[in-house]
Amino acid sequence: MAKRIDVSGLTAYYGSHKAIEDISMTVEPRSVTAFIGPSGCGKSTFLRTLNRMHEVTSGGRVEGKVLLDDEDLYGTGIDPVSVRREVGMVFQRPNPFPTMSIFDNVAAGLRLNGSYKKSELADVVERSLKGANLWNEVKDRLNKPGSGLSGGQQQRLCIARAIAVEPNVLLMDEPCSALDPISTLAIEDLIGELKERFTIVIVTHNMQQAARVSDRTAFFNLAAVGQPGKLIEIDETERIFSNPSVQATEDYISGRFG
């Protein structure tokens, strides 16, 4: 299930603008890796290069290698659509499909890919909703529109939708930034459970959250506005927050800048 990600020498562009430069890191399977850093330092861009969503934006292109268990995502003949089936994504703002019911939202990945057996669909939806800790709240109204749920429920619905297609890696782009503390807690608990099965990468602006949920933390920074973002260091979360090896990391974590 869970797969390791090896990134080496990755540089991403928006048109002629270099957004991130020369990033290399390893993301361990069945663990949570958190990305922290100031706004505009390229955390989200880097996250989006991990499932080839970066090239969906016009002018987006990438140099370097991203190995998913020894297979280069940017190698020749790799289909970005298959990559995205292996590497799922949850976005900053909850975005359930407004025309679909709760059931259809969770089933969307399987249905739209056309790869499912009808008899299994209900099981998969139930399993995914249980996996996202949402089943008990919505089991009586599966055919109601997903946009009628609260923000936190919608975000868990999106997580259920993402894990329904059984990806190997789950990318989360600030999944709690639009949620209240209680919904945030629910999502953080969920991340703890999901890491048993998936490789999880999470971008967050909330350093306590990074400290709470992640096993490893990567700190990104940029020299100045307009300069490309760079990976400053990546290490065990405990070390990053207690005894980082780079001064800039300590400054950022202790709030001395940014």
Site residues (vs another protein, CB under 8 A): 51, 53, 56, 58, 81-86, 88-89, 91, 93, 95, 97-99, 108-109, 111-113, 144-145, 147-148, 158, 161-162, 165, 167
Which CB, 78 or 185, lies closer to another protein?
A: 78
CB atoms within 10 A of CB 2: 18
DSSP H or E run through 36: strand 32-36
What is the signed CA dihedral for 255, 187, 236, 202, rounded to 10 degrees?
Answer: -80
Q: Which residue has the tokens 């297979």?
A: 71
CB of 165 to another protein, least distance (A): 6
CB of 171 to another protein, least distance (A): 8
CB of 236 to another protein, least distance (A): 29
CB of 246 to another protein, least distance (A): 32
The distance of Cα 37 from the centroid of its chain, to the nearest Å, equals 15
Which CB, 37 or 88, lies closer to another protein?
A: 88
The span from the CA of 252 to the CA of 258, in Å, is 6
3-state secondary structure of 254: coil
What is the signed CA dihedral for 10, 34, 72, 83, rounded to 10 degrees?
Answer: -120
Which CB, 152 or 244, lies closer to another protein?
A: 152
CB of 159 to another protein, least distance (A): 12
Distances (CA, A) of 151 to 139, 154, 161: 17, 5, 15
Task: Name residues whose C-beta falls within 8 Å of residue 255's C-beta, 6 or more positions apart in sequence.
Answer: none
Q: Which residue has the tokens 């290399």?
A: 24
Which CB, 153 or 217, lies closer to another protein?
A: 153
Q: And the tokens for 149?
A: 């749920």
Which CB, 191 or 231, lies closer to another protein?
A: 191
Which CB, 21 or 173, lies closer to another protein?
A: 173
CB of 112 to another protein, least distance (A): 4
